[in-house]
Amino acid sequence: MGDHSGINGHPQPEPPSPPSPPSTGDPQLDRAVGQWLRWDRNPLTRAVIQTLVDQNQVSELRSRLGSRLSFGTAGLRAPMGAGFNRINDLTVIQSSQGLCVYLSRCVPDLQQRGVVIGYDTRAQRESGCSSERLARLAAAVFLSRDVPVHLFSSYVPTPYVPFAVLKLGAAAGIMITASHNPKDDNGYKVYWSAGPQICSPHDRQVLLCIREQEEPWSASCWSLELSAHSPLRTDPLEDINKEYMKDTSLLCYHRSLNRTSPLRTVHSSFHGVGHVFVQRVFEVFGLSVIPVPEQKDPDPDFPTVSVPNPEEGVPVLSLSMSLADAEDAPLVLATDPDADRLAVAEKEPSGQWRVFSGNEMAALLGWWMLLNHRKTQDRTQDRTQDRTQDRTQDRTQDPRPEQKLFMLTTTVSSKILQSICIKEGLCYEETLPGFKWIGNRIHELQKSGHKVLFSFEESIGFLCGSLVPEKDGVSTAAVVAEMACFLHHQNLSLSQQLQRVYHTYGYHVSRTSYVVCHDPLTVNRIFSRLRDFEGSGTYPKTCASCGILHVRDIGANYDSRQPDHRGVLPVSGGHMITFWLENGVTATLRTSGTEPKIKMYAEICGEAGEKSDVSKLEAELLSVTASLLDEFLEPEKNHLIRRSL
């Protein structure tokens, strides 16, 4: 194999072949141990496995080497460290080799188009792994096969990678990130040439190719310096920054008002990548923003938050709120560490802070995007009325289909967009959970000549317009700040406008929560019980003493609403069961694709106008969610960890 790179990227002699390790008593595990010790060239992670072998820690060896990574809703994601089911140098090299082989089969001009690679600011001292290091190793794999690499020279938000794939015409994109996961996690997201994250069948085929390419090809794959010297490596950072800011400016509708607005905004980047990019996009919008000083610079230890996830609300937003109180700023925005999600909080007249849920922000952003789309369309039509009339005369000869306007969301998110679309004459669609499904649907609709105005998932993932087929906390932050300035000019708060939206389109009351379970067997047992509830051979008939009308089980390809009881959504990995109740509640239990969680979602919709009794709706919902937890999940019996911070 020749020379290879050590932990700091400097060439060092290849070590002699290790002696055969002592047997664990499990031939399959012995084979995995031998492969790891032969293949791994990171001295830190290699030493971990060697120590476990020396100490005969069979159980720990099996937990690290007995399974492989697989694609979830956000690509490959796992703790950093030694093992085939962890994120580390070897597994990133293996993943990149598999992806490279698959791309070479699918993309004839791969060696002209190349791949985009970006990374966030995560790092782990114990394993020597950092997102930047892993990105450089991924780049080395492609460069070793003469595939051009557009490797960002510094950390970037996740949406920058699919944006760059589209702008550069690349064959694919890779983002090294674990988004809002705990600090020891990292991940490997893959984007296809059209921009969205890969999904079936690409993800399965890439995994097969990874299995075929497990042994590192050559010493070049371990070279951290190859990307610094190869003529096939380019740095797209400056050009993509300019293009992103230019395209994001199209989402700004009230720049003059923004420049004069007295409304003040605080932003936290949660020790991640967001600060610089949010500052820039705010400047494009004519806005200013106050950063949280303790959280604006990257720090992989996330020292000021219990978890690096702004979705957790007040406990992790306390620094932002304290600064906002001191600065007399009524609006707090927080992007997660890779800046693809956005949390929003507003100070109420009482002095208390209200943290909006993802569903509530979607109601506001859906209203806002439609309002400005129609205003823009009205101005455009006024300017081009004569030309429009001329085109109308020839419309019978125009074979192009009429452009339709869409809003998209996921099956577990609020139905508020559906209510808006029904009333306003727009098209509405739902996908499976995970923005990769939304991104792929955006691509399909655009190919058919249609326009997607707004998309979201309830876990504070938003996309205004179709700038990039991925949730985008950076552009959404500026859009929310502009919306707040516009409403402030009309003496309205975000909370007040939300009530107006509900008054117009119906009250949508929702609750989301989760429990933590680290044992996959327990998770499987819980969902198996729901499919054979109390030995009945079928699903539960009631929840909170309320009859269940219909059940949809994605994993079993079952939907009782369909004449043949077959599902219409794609069958996906993991578990997801939805219940429709007689009282109007829709409730879903599903396993997370990125964390060891069982998530719960429930919503009830009331009428528009003054007729809805919101307190009654909330009581109905509370009763159902309590029953979902206590009766269906049985947290004490199954040793589940309830949500707590």
DSSP for residue 256: H
How does strand 185-192 pair with strand 172-176? antiparallel
Other CB atoms within a 10 A radius of the CB of residue 440 amount to: 20
For 87-115, give the DSSP string. BSHHHHHHHHHHHHHHHHHH-TTHHHH-E
Cβ contact 302:278 at 8 Å: no
- Sign of the Cα torsion 545, 550, 554, 558 reads positive
Can you give the length of the chain in residues?
A: 645
Kindly state the greatest CA–CA separation across the chain: 84
Beta bridge partners of 115: 149, 172
Q: Report the distance separating Cα 645 and Cα 643, nearest Å.
A: 7
300 cis-preceded (ω within 30 degrees of 0) = no
Sheet holding 451-457, edge to edge: 427-431, 405-410, 451-457, 461-464
DSSP for residue 231: T
- Here the tokens at position 192 are 């296809």
Q: Report the distance separating Cα 92 and Cα 41, nearest Å.
A: 12
Q: Is 401 exposed, middle or buried (0-12, 13-18, 19+ CB in 10 A)?
A: exposed
Whether 179 is catalytic: yes
Residue with tokens 């296809």: 192
Q: Is 636 exposed, middle or buried (0-12, 13-18, 19+ CB in 10 A)?
A: exposed
- Here the tokens at position 395 are 């419309």
Q: Please choose, from the candidates 115, 119, 139, the residue with its C-alpha nearest in 3D space to the C-alpha of residue 130.
A: 119
**Active-site residue among 127, 130, 144, 179?**
179
Helix (H) or strand (E) segment spanning residue 124:
strand 123-124
Which are the catalytic amino acids?
A: 179
